[in-house]
């Protein structure tokens, strides 16, 4: 597709349920990011992939959060045993080049998955 695609668009989960959020980046984009945006806040970095390698996962809030990008294209963010504080919009973004040595690339964001944990 032309842009970054995320699914589902909305997800309602019961507390304790596991969820999986999918991101299809722009074809050929090397870099892929996941961000979490709570209500009234700016996006907060979760994790970064360069192709299939997860180079930074310092933003993942707990070990309940896990992300993968096994073939260097589609990525999945998994949240285990969801809690109410996990309720947020989860944004995926991709860029054409890797970040090393290229500081002026811009990110293309998807529309996000709005997760509500009841």
Which of 17, 76, 87, 99 lies at the binding interface for other proteins (CB under 8 A)? 99
- Per residue in 54-88, is it b (16+ CB within 10 Å) or e — as a string? beeeeebeeeebebebeeebebebebeebeeebbb
Q: Using DSSP, state whether 101 is helix, strand or coil.
A: coil
User: Which lies closer to other proteins via its Cβ, residue 7 or residue 17?
Assistant: 7
For residues 111 and 1, the answer to whether their CB atoms sit within 8 Å is no
Q: Which of residues 71-90 bind other proteins (CB under 8 A)?
A: none
Instruction: Determine the interface stretch with other proteins among 13-21, 54-62, 65-73, 75-83 (rule: CB under 8 A).
Output: 54-62
Q: Which of residues 4-33 bind other proteins (CB under 8 A)?
A: 4, 33
User: Which lies closer to other proteins via its Cβ, residue 14 or residue 106?
Assistant: 106
Pairing of strands 44-50, 5-7: unpaired
Instruction: Determine the interface stretch with other proteins among 14-22, 62-70, 79-87, 107-115 (rule: CB under 8 A).
Output: 107-115
Quote the least distance from Cβ 34 to other proteins, whole Å: 10
Q: How many CA atoms lie within 13 A of 72 on its CB side?
A: 10
Q: Look up residue 93 and give its two tokens.
A: 């973004």
Q: Which residues bind other proteins (CB under 8 A)?
A: 4, 33, 35, 40-45, 48, 55-56, 58-59, 91, 93, 99, 103-104, 106-112
């Amino acid at each position: 597709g032309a842009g970054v695609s995320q699914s589902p668009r909305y997800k309602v989960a019961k507390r304790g349920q596991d969820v999986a959020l999918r991101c299809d980046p722009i074809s050929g984009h090397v870099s892929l990011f996941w961000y979490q945006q709570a209500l009234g806040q700016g996006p907060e970095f979760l994790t970064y992939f360069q192709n299939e390698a997860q180079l930074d996962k310092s933003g993942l809030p707990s070990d309940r959060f896990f992300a993968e990008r096994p073939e260097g294209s589609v990525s999945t963010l998994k949240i285990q045993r969801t809690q109410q504080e996990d309720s947020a919009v989860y944004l995926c973004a991709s860029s054409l080049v890797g970040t090393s040595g290229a500081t002026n690339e811009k990110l293309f964001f998807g529309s996000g998955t709005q997760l509500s944990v009841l």
